């Protein structure tokens, strides 16, 4: 997936998530079964997860290289990255504390939806500062997956929101 395809997927996947969250009845937005996160908490978790990625893409490239190094391998494909993430989850991987959402009220929904939309717009725009080569060279840390190339982190960001959208749907089926 090249940069323009990644940007389109970032926008499409997050827009779909926001639309589905905003379409929920208030009671569904607040529903939690078996200790699972509510839709509001899923929304908050996506914001907490995408924010550091957006921040990293705002940093000068030389700082990313100094802080996290550069890749000594090619970027994984989208499918390979998803497979690795699913394996980590199957092995018991969970969101570290800083990514665990607080309780979210219905009154917070519009503000958080707008915040996520703005955050993803910013991330999409910030990817323009990086060449295709830089997306495969520079690294960022991921709490479960270790060091990822920038391209892989963007793949993760695309997949992650869809993963949590499915969790919202599964929570409502129970």
Q: What is the CATH number of the domain that holds 95?
A: 1.20.120.450
Please give the pLDDT value at position 174: 65
Please give the pLDDT value at position 35: 85
The pTM for the full model equals 0.95
Query: Do the domain assignments include residue 29?
Result: no
Query: Do the domain assignments include residue 109?
Result: yes
Of 76, 54, 47, the closest CA to residue 164 belongs to: 47
Query: Do the domain assignments include residue 30?
Result: no
Which ranges constitute the DSSP H helices of 23-108?
26-30, 39-56, 61-68, 78-90
Contacts (Cβ under 8 Å, ≥6 apart) of 143:
95, 96, 99
Q: Which residues constitute the domain of residue 92?
A: 3-23+35-173
Residues of the chain with pLDDT under 70: 174
Query: Do the domain assignments include residue 131?
Result: yes
The CA angle 108-119-56, to the nearest 5 degrees, is 130
Please give the pLDDT value at position 173: 83
Query: Do the domain assignments include residue 50?
Result: yes
Please give the pLDDT value at position 41: 97
Query: Do the domain assignments include residue 28?
Result: no
Token pair, residue 27, equals: 């009671």
Residue 148 backbone phi and psi in degrees, to 5: -120, 150
Please give the pLDDT value at position 33: 85
Domains contained in the chain, number: 1
């Amino acid at each position: 997936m090249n940069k323009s395809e990644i940007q389109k997927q970032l926008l499409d996947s997050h827009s779909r998530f926001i639309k589905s969250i905003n379409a929920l009845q208030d009671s569904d937005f607040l529903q939690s079964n078996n200790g699972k996160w509510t839709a509001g908490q899923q929304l908050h978790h996506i914001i907490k997860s995408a924010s550091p990625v957006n921040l990293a893409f705002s940093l000068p490239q030389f700082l990313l290289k100094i802080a996290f190094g550069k890749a000594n391998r090619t970027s994984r494909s989208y499918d390979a990255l998803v497979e690795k993430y699913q394996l980590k989850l199957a092995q018991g991987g969970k969101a570290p504390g800083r990514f665990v959402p607080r309780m979210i009220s219905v009154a917070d929904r519009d503000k958080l939806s707008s915040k996520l939309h703005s955050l993803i717009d910013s991330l999409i725009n910030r990817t323009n500062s990086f060449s295709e080569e830089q997306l495969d060279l520079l690294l960022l840390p991921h709490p479960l997956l270790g060091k990822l190339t920038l391209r892989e982190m963007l793949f993760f960001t695309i997949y992650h929101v869809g993963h949590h959208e499915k969790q919202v749907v599964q929570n409502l089926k129970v």
